[in-house]
Amino acid sequence: MSNEMSGDALLQLVREDLRGFAGYASARTYDVKGEVWLNANESPWANPADANGSSRRYPEPQPPALREALARLYDCRPEQLLVGRGSDEAIDLLVRALCVPGRDAIVATPPVFGMYSVSARLQGAPLLAVPLVDGEAGFGVDLEAVAIAAEQGNAKLVFLCSPSNPTGGSVPLDGIAALATRLHGRALVVVDEAYGEFSDQPSATTLMETHANVAVLRTLSKAHALAAARIGTLIAEPALVRVLRACKAPYPVPTPCAELAVAGLSDEALARTRARVAQVRSERSRLQQGLATLPGVVRVYPSDGNYLLVRFADAGDAFARLLAAGVVVRDQRAAAQLGDALRITIGSPEQNDRVLAALVAKEAAA
């Protein structure tokens, strides 16, 4: 299938009323040259707090140096990227651009990251929930049930989280490919790889050449340690990226954040990121083993992310013990299937020791 043809098929998934939408034409949209910029009502002088003077003017809508650094990082072309305020913004944009309120649904696989259903709710898009299946190898996606739900429920978007938050498992690439083939012309399969750096599985971007209806979400918030910069990336077919760019906020990436992110993606910074990821992975094994030996722990799920999902005999008590030791973890008890579970982010070796000590102390005290 030529790229042009696959792009055309994909555009059929976009809301009819947005297919030719040009969006807001900001002062930065026009490709003109000049020396004196008096077209955006900016200040001619910098704020004294703005040391390098880069914040006086509005940013580029998609800062080119950042896009190029991200294209290198994710091994794709700059025109496949949409950079925004965290991957949260890309999730929201996808739902808004593809789903007609009250008609077009999204599929999500609870227990899973909550923003897919929040964005659907805000857009008035029906949510089709296909629960994860708790098996011997951990929680997994029932891809057949996902396909049926999408086909029967008029879904435009299927969100697969891989590695999945909070359950930790990855969705096999061959399963994603088969789902995308089955939903071709019907739905976009969005693979959220916020935790991809911590996993051994190759990125679903490797499927995009043959499956135009696969899109991938990445973020600098986790492995790259830049959560406050709010840099998230959607990687998708360029035709879809062009439509989403028209729908996005005019300047979603503040200049100080773009500068920080470009510096955080230098060769030297990336080498440090790889070292941090290796340490998280080794701490993940150590914490997993340490927790598994505690009698109050019912199950520690295998994880490809930087967190562990743990079932306790008394999760409320474990949460309180950790809190009393100054350790805050994520209480999952309100989530479907997780009434006895906590999600523990992998910390530094000292922080992980503190987790184990707090829970061991419980056993000693009991």
Residues that bind ligand PLP (CB under 6 A): 86-88, 113, 161, 165, 192, 194, 219, 221, 227, 232
- Cβ neighbours around 325 below 10 Å, total: 14
Q: How far is the CB of 201 from ligand PLP (least distance, A)?
A: 15
Residue 68, token pair as written in the block: 């190029």
Q: How far is the CB of 305 from ligand PLP (least distance, A)?
A: 8
Q: How far is the CB of 224 from ligand PLP (least distance, A)?
A: 10
Q: How far is the CB of 193 from ligand PLP (least distance, A)?
A: 8
- Of 137 and 228, which has the nearer Cβ to ligand PLP? 228
**What's the residue count for the chain?**
366
- Of 126 and 196, which has the nearer Cβ to ligand PLP? 196
Q: How far is the CB of 227 from ligand PLP (least distance, A)?
A: 6
- Of 140 and 232, which has the nearer Cβ to ligand PLP? 232
In the chain the beta strands, taken as DSSP E runs, fall at 81-85, 105-108, 127-129, 133-135, 138-140, 155-161, 188-192, 214-219, 231-235, 297-300, 307-312, 330-331, 341-345
Residue 214, token pair as written in the block: 């696969």
Strand, coil or helix: what is 244?
A: helix
How many whole angstroms separate alpha carbon 299 and alpha carbon 310? 6
- The contacts of residue 219 (CB under 8 Å, 6+ apart) are 86, 87, 194, 231, 232, 233
Four-CA torsion 254, 257, 262, 267, nearest 10 degrees: -170
How many whole angstroms separate alpha carbon 209 and alpha carbon 3? 9
Phi, psi of 294 (to 5 degrees): -80, 130
- Of 28 and 245, which has the nearer Cβ to ligand PLP? 245
- Of 239 and 253, which has the nearer Cβ to ligand PLP? 253
Residue 42 CA to its chain's centroid (Å): 34
- Cβ neighbours around 238 below 10 Å, total: 17
- Cβ neighbours around 36 below 10 Å, total: 6
- Of 255 and 306, which has the nearer Cβ to ligand PLP? 306
- Of 232 and 290, which has the nearer Cβ to ligand PLP? 232
Residue nearest to ligand PLP (CB): 86
- The contacts of residue 87 (CB under 8 Å, 6+ apart) are 192, 194, 217, 218, 219, 221, 232, 233, 234
Q: How far is the CB of 220 from ligand PLP (least distance, A)?
A: 7
- Of 91 and 239, which has the nearer Cβ to ligand PLP? 91
Q: How far is the CB of 48 from ligand PLP (least distance, A)?
A: 31
- Of 86 and 111, which has the nearer Cβ to ligand PLP? 86
Q: How far is the CB of 222 from ligand PLP (least distance, A)?
A: 7
Dihedral sign of CA atoms 169, 175, 177, 179 in order: negative
Q: How far is the CB of 301 from ligand PLP (least distance, A)?
A: 16
